Structure formats: C-alpha cells, structure tokens
Amino acid sequence: MNIELINTGTELLLGSTLNTHQQWIGQQLAALGLELARQVAVPDTADAIQDAVRDAMGRADFILTTGGLGPTSDDVTREKIAELLGLRLCREARIEAGIQRFFEERRRSMPAQVLIQAQVPEGAQVLENAHGTAPGLAIPLPPKPGSTLKAPRLLVMLPGPPRELRPMFTQHVLPLLRQLAPSQDQYARRILRTTGVGESVIAEKIEPALRDGLQAGLEIGYCAHTGAVDVRLIARGPQAHAILAQAETTVREFMGEAIYGENDDRLEAQVVQLLTAARQTVALAESCTGGFITHRLTNIPGASAVVLAGAVTYSNTSKTIFAHVDPAILQSFGAVSPETATAMAEGIRRALQADYGIGVTGIAGPSGGTEQKPVGTVYIALAQADGTKVHSSINRYERESFKAITSQQALDLIRRALLASRPRP
C-alpha cells in the first residue's frame, strides 16, 4: 500500500515551525508495519496544495494531508482539495453545533468566521476532533488501475495542531488504514527503551548474542535520545513472532534494569507507577534543573498521590527556607557539592514526611563554572529511610539538554531504588 503525506503550511517552508508531524506519523505507521512512500511540504497556496494532491493521486493509495482546516484566510486546504476533486462544500449542522458548544464550554465568544469549519465536501466522512473546532475529513478517491486494496483508496485531511491531530490519527485514521491494508500477521516489532548506557556500548553487548536472529532476518536499530537509547527489533515473515521473542529475551538478559520500558513508555510514568504500587511518596528539591523533574513527574496522571511537593531552590536562602539546608553546609562546601545535595534531599524528605527525598544541585551554565567544578557538574542525592546516596556526573551540554539529562539521571536513580526495594517473588 502506497501512503503519501502532504504537510501544508508556509511556516514549514520558512522554517518557523519544525515538521514534527512527519516523524510522529512515520512512527505510527511503522508500528503497524507500514511505511510512508513520500512526504511533501507545500505552502498554504491554492496552486501548491492542488499540485501536490494531483501528483500524489497519480501514485498513492492513501493520501494524508495536515493543516489548513482552520478558520483564517490562509486555511484553504479543505476548499482547494474539494475544488480539485470537483466536490461541492455543504455546511453540516451537527458540526456547527459542536463548534458552538466548544466556545460555550470555554465561556468564550464565537467569531462567525469559525463556522467555515463546518463545511464538508459531498461524500466525505467527518472525523471528529475532540480537542479543537476543525473536524477531519475522509474522501474516497477513484480507484487506480490494477489495485488490490480491500476498500476504495482515500484522501484524509487532518488539522495541523499536534494535540488535535495525534488523537484523531489514532482514533480515526488507523482504523481506516486497517480497512485498506493487507494483513499484518507477518510483522513483529518491539522497541525496548533504555537509559544510562550509550548506543555503541549496547550494540557491542547485544549484537554478538543476536547473531542467529540476524541471520534469520532480524533487523536491529538504535535511536539515541537525550539520556536514553531505544533499541528497535523488527522481524518479518512466517517466523516473525518467534524470532522477535527470542531476540527480546536476549536483549533483556544483557541489558537488565537499564531497560525501563517498551514502545511509548516514559521513564517518569515508570517512577509514578512504582511509587504507586509501593504506596510510597517523594518530595524534591531542585536547583539546577529548575523544576523540570517535578514537571515531568506531574505530567503523569496519578502523580498527585505520590509526588508530595517539589521546591525549586535556586538561591541559597530558598535552599534553607524550603529544604532546611544548614547555612553552615552551604558555607563550608558550597551550593554545588555532594554535601548540599544530601542536605537538600534529606531536608525536603523530612519537611514533607516523604518516603524518598531528591536533591539536585549543579552548574547548568553557560557561566558559573570553575576549574574544580566545571560547567555541567551535577550532584543528585536520593534520601530514604536507610540512608542517602549521591550520584555525580559532568553533564556538559547546553542548558536545556543539561536539564533533560540530569532529570533522566535523577528519575533513574529513584527507579532503581524502587526496583531494588520490591519484595522478591
């Protein structure tokens, strides 16, 4: 099945916006064993959009467009595609009512112009948008000669904002693709997510042990993120599931607790889940990470039951006020020291009567480094009932990567402590 993606938006071509749709949609399709055959970005002009759709119709079985369904004058995708396909646009009362409700629920007044989003090309299926006012549209296309598809080929339009597009893709587009696509039985894929080990080290460890699988057609891929590496295993053919299961067992054996999850699992979700299962709580005192660790944890529904509080203690005063750090410790060892990290973790744990306390202090940069403590120096302390341990490292990256890697290390520290304290079966 030939799938093509057309991203509309002048902001993409000007580089004002990064095209994250391509990556996300590519990943979603790959998870089903499908591959994008081509992706095109064009500006918000009638000619550019119509040319791109006309070209794609000559090749594709499934065309997905993103963007240009909103209410402003540069939102022309719906109208120009309907024009190209010779379809009339009709206002649909049910969508109008939904748009009116959207504004009412948010107690905002509704500009008349937004009702243009209720226009539907004749014969199109309306795909509901739970997070915005522009619905998606699916239009059946005339068949290509010699097609073996199970249903008519389709052109699907989705709105541009990711928080609208992503749930709509999952909820509406994937089922439409499944209707068209041939069976996916002979495809198996698993992503194992690791942290704390570099990709070349992982490759050196696992590849010799995977030799049999590789000879049987196993594909291994690595994707390095900030402070994490995903190991991707893909197998095809009648033995796909058996080959994959064997490979996964091998990788788990070699990587052990460095694996924190699969597919879309998030490290912070793992920590919240382990805390919840153990009925334990955590409180945080963050200096150089500026609240990012607490932010990540509180992104997870259910965090409020286990994350008691976080304090961003940038100044010495706030370290004392919030985390009860003895000024004498700050004086003797400095704000960036294992002693201060320890005092922060223990102080915040005591103040909130939490089971775990985390204290993080370091030098994010770009300035503030010394020869002994260069930019990137960081101390992460984890306090629990039986004592406090301190992780130290030099995370020499620009400011936001520094925060990302340091938060990763802190979350991994408590994750491993929670794993170690689980009752043995």
Q: Could you say which residues in the range 61-80 bind its own copies, by CB under 8 A?
A: 70-74
What angle do helix axes 316-323 and 338-352 make, rounded to 10 degrees? Answer: 40
Q: CB of 241: closest distance to its own copies in angstroms?
A: 18
Query: Binding to its own copies by residue 386, rule CB under 8 A?
Result: no
Residue 290 lies near its own copies (rule: CB under 8 A): yes
299 is a site residue for its own copies (CB under 8 A): yes
32 is an interface residue for its own copies by CB under 8 A: no
DSSP 423: P
Of the candidates 201, 242, 277, 419, which one interacts with its own copies according to CB under 8 A? 201
* Distance, CA of 285 to CA of 293 (rounded, Å): 10
* 127 binds its own copies per the rule CB under 8 A: no
Among 315, 331, 332, 370, binds its own copies (CB under 8 A): 315
Contact range with its own copies by CB under 8 A, out of 23-31, 137-145, 172-180, 237-245: 23-31
What tokens appear for 29 in the block?
A: 């399709």
Measured between alpha carbons, how far is 382 from 219 in angstroms, rounded to an integer? 39
The answer to whether 2 contacts its own copies (rule: CB under 8 A) is no
Query: 280-317 b/e with 16+ CB inside 10 Å = b?
Result: bbbbbbbbbbbbbbbbbbeebeebeebbbebbbbeebe
Cα–Cα distance, 173 to 315 (Å, whole number)? 50
The reply to whether 24 sits near its own copies by the rule CB under 8 A is yes
User: Which CB sits closer to its own copies, 111 or 387?
Assistant: 111
Please list, residue by residue across 249-271, b when 16 or more beta carbons sit within 10 angstroms of its beta carbon and e when fewer do: ebbeebbeebbbbeeeebbbbbb
Residue 284 interacts with its own copies (CB under 8 A): yes or no: yes
CB of residue 132 to its own copies, shortest distance in Å = 9
333 touches its own copies (CB under 8 A): no
Check residue 9 for interaction with its own copies (CB under 8 A). Answer: yes
Residue nearer to its own copies on the CB measure, 122 or 400: 400
252 lies in the binding site for its own copies (CB under 8 A):
no
Task: Pick the piece of the chain touching its own copies (CB under 8 A) from 80-88, 160-168, 254-262, 408-416.
Answer: 160-168
Piece in contact with its own copies (CB under 8 A), picked from 146-154, 235-243, 248-256, 284-292: 284-292
Beta strands in 60-162 (DSSP E): 62-66, 89-91, 119-121, 125-127, 136-140, 154-158
* H/E stretch holding 114: none
How many Cβ atoms sit within 10 Å of the Cβ of residue 89? 16
Q: Which is nearer to its own copies, 13 or 87 (CB)?
A: 13
Helix (H, G, I), strand (E, B) or coil at 187: strand
Q: Does 170 bind its own copies (CB under 8 A)?
A: no
Can residue 144 be called a binding residue for its own copies (CB under 8 A)? no
Of 394, 400, 342, which is closest to residue 373 (Cα–Cα)? 394
Beta-bridged to residue 192, according to DSSP, are 231, 262
Cβ-based neighbours of 44, under 8 Å, separated by 6 or more: 8, 9, 10, 67, 68, 74, 75, 76, 77
Q: How far is the CB of 182 from its own copies (least distance, A)?
A: 19
Residues constituting the chain: 425
Of 343-382, binders to its own copies (CB under 8 A) are 351-352, 365-367
Q: Does residue 415 bind its own copies (CB under 8 A)?
A: no
Among 123, 221, 237, 327, binds its own copies (CB under 8 A): 221
Side-chain-side CA neighbours of 86 within 13 Å: the count stands at 2
Is position 309 an interface residue for its own copies (rule: CB under 8 A)? yes
- Verify binding: residue 292, its own copies, rule CB under 8 A: yes
Q: Which of 207, 212, 253, 262 binds its own copies (CB under 8 A)?
A: 207
Q: Which of 184, 249, 317, 331: binder of its own copies (CB under 8 A)?
A: 317
Residues 102-121 that bind its own copies (CB under 8 A): 105-108, 111, 113-114
Q: Which is nearer to its own copies, 88 or 370 (CB)?
A: 370
> Judged by CB under 8 A, does residue 84 bind its own copies?
no
Q: CB of residue 176 vs its own copies: minimum separation in angstroms?
A: 19
Q: Which two tokens stand for residue 42?
A: 């064009």
Check binding of 312 to its own copies (CB under 8 A).
yes
Residue 223 found at the interface with its own copies (CB under 8 A): yes
What is the three-class DSSP state of 347? helix
Candidate residues 126, 220, 390, 417; the one interacting with its own copies per rule CB under 8 A: 220
- 3-state secondary structure labels for all residues of 197-234: CCHHHHHHHHCHHHHHHHHCCCEEEEEEECCEEEEEEE
